[in-house]
Amino acid sequence: MVIINGDDFGMNEHCTKAIAAAFSEGLITDTTIMANGAYFNEAVALAQSDGFADRIGIHLNITEGTPLTEDIKGFPDFVTNGHFNKRYNHSRELTEAEQKAIYNELTAQIKKLKTAGISITHADSHHYVHNSAHIAPIAERVCREQGISKIRLKRNLCESEDFEYNIRLRENGFITTTYFGKLIDIKTGVVPDDTEILVHPDFDKSGKLIDRRGVEDGYPVGESIPKLKAQLGSYNKLT
């Protein structure tokens, strides 16, 4: 079974509509939504109207947009002028107060999804913060407390060995796929069984649906999302 997850649902209008289009075309099986995304409410409505509301996870986010909670705004490493910083020092240890603020923010994000009626299938994060050394224990605690048992791995489809983080997730009782990677990691076109593939559905300047790899001159750029030759599944079927 292969899962294809479209990240950034609800972040903005064009990403959100691109993810709905990718579902419609059978290019993705799942998505993860940003609770603090500018297009969150519209994303929830679109998922319900288009019939994929049962395939939505949480895209935990402390790197972009406006926080849902107040305490975290007092830490300039994470929030500047009321908005999350896109980059912060992953390697430094967090103070107890910072840990508490991040815990409260992630909890608030999950609760917002529940209030909106979303049955959260799994968790991942914006810019992979959930598997950084000092955020991972907080994210895992929040997921455990909020009843989320499935979490995205650290990218390992392009590596020869497993990561300690991935091993620890399973040892701590979380359910994961065996592999996680991007389309560029599929060198031969064959996807191993029990794999999650990450894509960022978006529309380029011409309106073509793509897997966004960046932005040039204000427009998303990337390649078409292929229909993979694999038995597709979804996180709500992962056991």
pLDDT of residue 87: 73
pLDDT of residue 124 exceeding 90, the answer is: yes
In whole angstroms, give the CA distance from residue 174 to residue 140. 9
pLDDT in tens, 203-225: 999 999 999 999 999 899 999 99
Residue labelled with tokens 């972009």: 64
Instruction: Tell me the domain boundaries of the chain.
Output: 2-237
High-pLDDT (> 90) share of the chain, %: 89
Give residue-wise pLDDT tens across range 171-186: 999 999 999 999 999 8
pLDDT of residue 126: 96
Q: So what's the architecture of 2-237 in CATH?
A: Alpha-Beta Barrel (3.20)
User: What DSSP designation does 131 have?
Assistant: G
pLDDT in tens, 24-49: 999 999 999 999 999 999 999 999 99
Q: What pTM does this model have?
A: 0.95
SS3 14: helix
* DSSP H stretches of helix in the chain: 13-24, 40-50, 96-115, 136-145, 164-171
Kindly indicate the confidence band of residue 88, based on its pLDDT and cuts at 50, 70 and 90: confident
Which residue, among 174, 90, 164, 167, has the nearest Cα to 134 in the 3D structure? 90
At residue 120, what is the residue type?
Answer: I
Q: Is the pLDDT of residue 159 over 90?
A: no
